[in-house]
Amino acid sequence: MVRHLRSEANAGRMLPFVIEYQGRLVGQLTVAGITWGSMCSGHVGYWVDESVAGRGVMPTAVAMVVDHCFRTVGLHRIEVCIRPENGPSRRVVEKLGFREEGLRPRYLHIDGAWRDHLVFALTAEEVPEGLLSRWRRNRPRGAPRDPQNTRGNRAAPGN
């Protein structure tokens, strides 16, 4: 898997990241399917360890990576495709204000069958102030603190 991620990253088609929280690996996030030309787009996939779910780790990591894609890499659009029954992943994009665009029937082959996915997207124009900035500003009072501001936490390229 690591060889594949490195190869795709070196070819400019993917940006793999690992997510650390309090000094340990707790997740992974990948921007894949990077397309240039008139599209300038990519799609994000992610997972996080259940032990840190609900602490804002994944929304913060997604926001950081989307900002990197828009501001540094030069992408215009980011999509996240999620199985309809995956409530925790849906909450991540809902918290961040991704727009739901619809259903892709039988989109990906997972666990031996073609599975439907909901499509969520953002364009660079929708977050001129940056997604991380918007996420921090819109977090409800009493929400878990921002993991980026916790000493020793970071999203790091997975190379």
- Every domain of the chain and the residues it spans: 2-145
Predicted confidence band at 2 (pLDDT cuts at 50, 70, 90)? confident
How far is 6 from 129, CA to CA, in rounded Å?
A: 31
The predicted pLDDT at position 40 comes to 97
How far is 86 from 118, CA to CA, in rounded Å?
A: 10
Give, in words, the CATH class of 2-145: alpha beta
pTM: 0.86
Predicted confidence band at 5 (pLDDT cuts at 50, 70, 90)? confident
138, pLDDT greater than 50: yes
Identify each DSSP E strand in the chain by its residue range.
15-21, 24-35, 41-48, 77-82, 99-110, 113-123, 154-157
Q: What is the pLDDT of residues 48-104, one digit of tens each?
A: 999 999 999 999 999 999 999 999 999 999 999 999 999 999 999 999 999 999 999
Q: What is the pLDDT of residues 22-54, one digit of tens each?
A: 999 999 999 999 999 999 999 999 999 999 999
* Opening angle at CA 133, ends 132 and 135, nearest 5: 60
